[in-house]
Amino acid sequence: MSLFNRRKPEEIIREWDKSLNREQRKIDREIAQTKRQVQKIELECKKLAKKNQLDAAKILAKQVIQGRKAVNRLHATKANINSVQLNMKQQMAMAKVSGAFEKSTQVMKAMQRLVKTPEVMKTMQELQREMLKSGVIEEMMNDAMDDVLGDEDLEQETDEEVSKVLDELISGELNKIPTASLPAQASVDETREESEEDDAQELQERLAGLRS
């Protein structure tokens, strides 16, 4: 196909870059919101642990672990987007000389992860199709994408992880708590507790979205 019958490579790259920048901003907002929710759950978890309400505290500790893993995953997504953007700049420089894009293994690997990340899936699938047409990447095999999520499993938290989070949140005081359960203390502010429960529920829904 003649270069005169299609858009210039640098125009395509600039359009892709704008799309990737939008996804970066969306990820930043997702990270900030998830961190805020995790912080609120950490505070409630700490209170429950100090009251020796350990069963309830462990449930919240698991949500803390899941939230932290979700944040780490979002940071990894940003890193993959950055990798694509950097490679696209190199592609633009080469395309100005050769008049065409070249296949990129780095972009292929980054896109393998991005097209399976819920927060950016739709945009990345569209971008993937455009990159296929432009010759930047080849068709990806499904069995080549099995390691996208790696060993990180948002649904399983070990007892060791839960104990470590509880110990961290109450500054090492977990071991000082007596074995016998203390009487449950009534909430001073029911409205505040309902708000914290809502935050925990919202985080659970967001984490469920990550697994879908």
pLDDT > 70: percent of the chain: 69
- Report whether pLDDT(188) > 60: no
**Residues 99-139: tens digit of each pLDDT:** 778 888 888 889 988 998 888 999 999 999 988 888 888 87
158 inside domain: no
Q: What is the pLDDT of residue 143?
A: 44
Determine the distance from the C-alpha atom of residue 64 to the mean position of all C-alpha atoms in its chain, rounded to a whole number.
14
**Average pLDDT score over residue span 91-96:** 79
Using CA atoms in the order 63, 69, 73, 76, what is the torsion angle rounded to 10 degrees? 150
- Compute CA distances 191 → 131, 174, 194, 196, 200, whole Å: 51, 27, 5, 9, 14
Overall pTM > 0.75: no
183 inside domain: no
**Residues 5-34: tens digit of each pLDDT:** 467 778 888 899 999 999 999 999 999 999
Structural domain that includes position 126: 1-139
More confident residue, 180 or 95: 95
23 inside domain: yes
From the list 74, 83, 103, 71, the residue with the least C-alpha distance to 20 is 83
Amino acid at 171: S
From the list 144, 138, 145, the residue with the least C-alpha distance to 105 is 138
CA distance 194 to 138: 51
14 inside domain: yes
Amino acid at 156: Q
More confident residue, 98 or 163: 163
**What is the average pLDDT value for the chain, to the nearest integer?**
77
Residues ≥6 apart with Cβ < 8 Å to 169: 42, 45, 46, 49, 61, 64
CA distance 63 to 41: 8
48 inside domain: yes
CA distance 102 to 99: 10
Q: For 146, which DSSP code? A: T
Q: How confident is the model at residue 200 (pLDDT cuts 50, 70, 90)?
A: low
101 inside domain: yes
Q: What is the pLDDT of residue 42?
A: 92
- Report whether pLDDT(40) > 90: yes
- Report whether pLDDT(185) > 80: no
Residues ≥6 apart with Cβ < 8 Å to 196: 40, 41, 43, 44
Structural domains in the chain (count): 1
Q: What is the pLDDT of residue 20?
A: 95
50 inside domain: yes
89 inside domain: yes
The residue with tokens 């805020």 is 36
